[in-house]
Amino acid sequence: MIKDLKFHEQAALFAKLSSIAYMHPEKKNAKGELLKDKAKQLGFTATFISNKGAEAYIFEDKENVVIACRGTEPTQLKDIKADLQIKRVPSDTGIGKVHRGFKLYTDKIWDKLVEAVKSSKRQNKELWITGHSLGGAMATVTAKRCSETEELKTPTMVFTYGSPRVGDGDYVNSIDRAIVHHRFMNDGDIVTKIPTAPFYFHCGSLHHIGKDGEVSTYHKINWFDTIVASLKHPIKSLIGDAKDHSSDNYVALLDAWVKKENTTIA
């Protein structure tokens, strides 16, 4: 059961599910692997949902339902457009404003996600939501909606990797009140630095993976310091490393963290 895993093991598992969410539902990847086989290795069945470029997988076992929203594909123009639509619009929950592109992508598959959440509630299964990059932003928006929709259920936890900022201060503050969100950032991952403060903010507990592979946790990010830093060093605040954003790197680094932590415990 996922709840019985140690935190670092949960983090590594959801990184893997977020990564394989990029795979085609039927075609083999460059390594000759099939999505259903990768999911089975992790103990899950997989159901693919898609609508007008927005995609996610529902991974399921006897005790858990995991929604893994698919992230940004650089070769997909629609994905890039979603990331670049920086206009803020009122959130569905009525509190604050959210990134227009992330909301639109979530809207496209929302009805199908609702069915998955209702199913988990009927079967009394734990609900988890995850995603990398654009998928992380979609996961955050989805989790907030689930927590405030009476017929649905609040996710047990949300794990995101390399997620961009999703909304204004009021919106992200309401998310922190509603859900348990663990947000992972690999070193200088440039996607985590956009859209810029003070118009957008992050939410959740930040787990930063340093150059040495060490994971440091920050439970509360000071918004004022974020704004000051972005204004004092506007160029530096936007500089990052594209390679740090790779979902494969998140998987490898968190696998290494699991090995280190389990060795220490043993």
The rounded average pLDDT for each run of 10 residues, N- to C-terminus, in the chain (266 residues) is: 96 98 95 96 97 95 96 55 71 91 94 93 96 96 94 96 95 96 93 85 94 85 53 53 87 96 78
pLDDT of residue 73: 58
Q: What is the 3-state secondary structure (H, E, C) of 132-177?
A: ECHHHHHHHHHHHHHHCCCCCCCCCEEEEECCCCCECHHHHHHHHH
Report whether 167 contacts 181 (CB < 8 A): no
Report whether 20 contacts 34 (CB < 8 A): no
Provide the β-strand partners of residue 68: 57, 130
Alpha helix (H) ranges present in the chain?
Answer: 7-20, 35-41, 77-84, 100-122, 134-147, 169-178, 223-232, 247-265
CB burial string 147-182: b at 16+ within 10 A, e below: bbeeebbbbbbbbbbbbbbbbbbebbbbbbebbebb
pLDDT of residue 77: 43
Report whether 161 contacts 136 (CB < 8 A): yes
Q: What is the DSSP letter of 21?
A: T
**Domains along the chain with CATH numbers:** 2-265 (3.40.50.1820)
pLDDT of residue 231: 55
